[in-house]
Structure 1
Amino acid sequence: PEKIVLDMNNCPDIAQTLCVTAAALKIPFEISGLGTLRVKETDRLQALYNELKKLGTETKITDLTIESVSFGEPEAHISIKTYQDHRMAMSFAPYCLIGELTIEDEEVVEKSYPMFWEDLADIMTK
């Protein structure tokens, strides 16, 4: 698509994965309806803003939205902070299909999906 424009008020928890995927593919995005992301395990909008920079994606955020501004080159050695948030870990994990990265505190996924890393490895071998 030329640009992804979505209101995710009814499903804000998948916004992180959508933003990371769009950033990895360099597809512009404007996602709204994200007010609840600021009050989860971490401020997920601020965390996305911080960590997407490492992929070379500049964004602007408000209390309800995140929008891509520009796409550049990713850092040479990407290390993603999870902020002790399982969704941060899971949302950045698929990036390993196109580039290398390290996810800090990878065990945080055990909160919601204990077999996440095993299942991801299984998918990648198929």
Structure 2
Amino acid sequence: MSRSTREDLGHPDELPEYAIPLWPDLSRWPTAHDVTTFRRGTHRNPDARLAVLNGLRSWSEINLGPIWAWTSAFLAVMIAGIGGMIAIQAPTAQLVVWAVIVLLAAFFLMKVLALSTTADSRRRRAHVWLRALE
């Protein structure tokens, strides 16, 4: 699967300021020139090298916490909406509650899909760069 849009994955928030310029461009494949440049750039600064490698290691493992949180919110909205539809006896109000449930469910599903896609993309790309730089 390929995408025509360029995806900017950024860098970890915990990455020290002095290591940000050395953070690789995860939107492309690493080359031999990238590896050589990284090694030369971090030869005299092992802390920066370690910070970048640790950032790549942390991103090579997927964090499911945010995805589970949004999924839980989706399920809570669905259960509350179904309960509201059962409790309300007016057909017009039931229709409004149903419409709100559908809109919120669509929002939560889109958010979960976006988070999981970005997390997986970061994981795969960080893993490739980590292997190249190590």
TM-score range, shorter chain: under 0.3
Q: Which has the higher strand share?
A: 1
Higher relative contact order (CA 8 A, sep 6+): 2
Q: Which has the higher helix share?
A: 2
**TM-score (ref. length: structure 2):** 0.25
